[in-house]
Chain A
Amino acid sequence: MTGSAWAMLTVTWTVVIFFTVRFFVKVLRTPIRPERVQQMKDGILEKDA
């Protein structure tokens, strides 16, 4: 591979992996709002069941 191809690949992959991991980790850290857990039963809101 040429140097410019390596540079393009490295920069692009770094940006993509950085944002993918950053946002997905943030999603994992805030899995669901507490009030939703209390209201849900088998994936259906209790108030609607």
Chain B
Amino acid sequence: MSTRESWGTRVGLVLAMAGNAVGLGNFLRFPAQAAQNGGGAFLIPYFISFVLMGIPLLWVEWAIGRHGGQYGHHSSPGSFDRLGSYWWLKYVGTFGLFTNLTVAAYYCYIESWTLSYVWHSLAGTFQEVDPTTYFPEYLGLTEGSLFAVPVEAFFWFVITLALNTWILSRGIARGIEVAAKIGMPLLLLFAAILAIRGLTLGVGTDPGVVQSPLEGLNFIWQPQLAGLTNPTTWLAAAGQIFFTMSVGMGTIHCYAAYLTENQDVALNGAAAGWMNEFVEVVLGSSLLIPIATAYLGLQAVQAATAGGSGFALGFLTLPSLFNNWGAFAPAAGALWFGLLFFAGVTSSLAMGQPIMAFLIDEFRLDRRRAAMIFGLTIFTLGFVCVWLYPGGAFDEFDFWTGTFGLVVFALAESFIFAFVFGMDRGWVEITRGADIKVPEIFRFVIKYITPVFILIIFVGSLIKPAGDWSAAASSLAGGTSWPLAPDSVIGRVLHTGVDDYRWLTDNGRGTTYLVQDMTRVFLLLVFVGCGVLIYRAWQLKARRSS
């Protein structure tokens, strides 16, 4: 049977690619990051990073994907194998399997929360119970244990995973593309309705409003130019661009692999990238913080977003604030969590397809069997996240695979594209069939600037200091050691800042450190397992061709 699928329409492809990039972070992370890192001034390094790293990486990944697709490879091991003659190139693609498997596991869990909250909003649950106490109970966090068996959360996780698996089993044109064509317009519509309602709230005219929502907008957009001289602002902006574009995952390679040799990647990549920016910068900044500011006041919102995440505000606070909207409250909640669900599902489908493609291309499985294997694998990995959520397994998945793993993969691919595949061939790949003229300067940017940009993010994440970079540098210059932040990569490995590091308590019960370390070992085994699968696939391929 044929394994060669294709996109049905170009708009479908661009919407699917934009849907891949648009995620919960566009609405929950971006506004908080912007507000905490210089407000309007944050947007300067943000857009510089977009032009020098985001757009070039998009084009690199589209080009690598389309190139691999011409040889029948729609997942990163095969795509990378075709970039040169070195045997190890296919193993760089291990990241493209590992990251998608492990991120999909916890991402489907988050996605299931949004689906569940759509239901609860419509059912009026948040008019009766306080969301701030409901959410920890929903996740099983109140049991005082390292383990949780949250029956309802698990039920919604299974429903969400089944939906993803079913859509993936329908294929590219009939499954993913249809989902993107439905999900993306609805996401834009829901966000527009909420933004208009939220930004027109008035003190004295709407019940419960204590401050103008424009004060919230001001909080995000007021340029604090001092932030521009702070390396933390630059790293935060570059990091935000990195994660919002969904680069370094292998999803873009996969989607682009379903193009033919002369189909455009330059315009498609730019269109998908800018659509993501529209959702993030225009819509993302107009919802969470302005609405929360209107009802809670700016001070409370500043405190709630101090860590650079709007997650708590989105899940714990907003559902109760919508109660002020009277008869519209259930619909408002459904619109908010509905748009988050659409943002999530279009991303999780993009994570599923590379796994499907790997199984179909390299192991000759049919689509339905590949979808079943994907579903069962994510169920198993996701169970670890659900079950060990209170012990911190979820956060470990998020950091090592959804944060650090992306940077490592993107760093490797940017160097391989420029120096192994070669920039001359790379430029031909990017510009062949292009429906826009790609400025020649990007040839230089892709070869030198983008890899260095990612290298800086990589090193920054390794040695991120506790507190200010300049203070840390002075501390080092003064002969004291570099004050590693507990959330830096090295700080996490060494459990920096932990006074009482041990796996078992005095009475023999496991600690969160035991769960964290075991999760890391588990993730390492999954990574090795992906590598073994690639080895086995190439063994089979050699046997078939001999």
Contact = CB atoms under 8 A, between A and B. Distances in A.
B9 A1 contact: no
A9 B217 CA distance: 9
B7 interface: yes
A12 B275 CA distance: 14
Contacts of A17: 278, 282
Contacts of A28: 11
A16 B274 contact: yes
Prevailing SS type, chain A contact patch = helix
A2 interface: yes
B6 A44 contact: yes
Contacts of B135: none
A48 to B, nearest CB: 4
B274 A20 contact: yes
Contact of A24 (B7, B9, B222, B275): B275
Contacts of A8: 39-40, 43, 221-223
Contacts of A33: 262-263
A31 B8 CA distance: 10
B364 interface: no
B278 A20 contact: yes
A20 B177 CA distance: 20
A43 B177 contact: yes
B267 A26 contact: yes
B435 A43 contact: no
Interface residues of B, number: 43
Given A4-B223, A23-B267, A27-B10, A43 B274 contact: no
Contacts of B281: 12-13, 16
A5 B282 contact: no
B6 A40 contact: yes
A45 B6 contact: yes
Given A9-B40, A12-B43, A42-B174, 14 more contacts: A1-B218, A4-B40, A4-B222, A5-B221, A19-B270, A20-B271, A23-B270, A23-B274, A26-B271, A26-B436, A40-B6, A43-B172, A44-B2, A48-B2
Interface of B: 2-11, 14, 39-40, 43, 47, 171-174, 177, 214-215, 217-218, 221-223, 260, 262-264, 267-268, 270-271, 274-275, 277-278, 281-282, 435-436
Q: Which 7 A-B pairs have the closest CB atoms?
A: A43-B173, A8-B40, A48-B4, A23-B271, A5-B221, A20-B278, A1-B218
Interface of A: 1-2, 4-6, 8-9, 12-13, 15-17, 19-20, 23-24, 26-28, 30-33, 36, 40, 42-45, 48-49
15 contacts: A5-B217, A8-B39, A16-B281, A19-B277, A23-B436, A26-B267, A26-B436, A27-B267, A27-B271, A31-B9, A31-B10, A32-B9, A32-B10, A42-B174, A48-B2
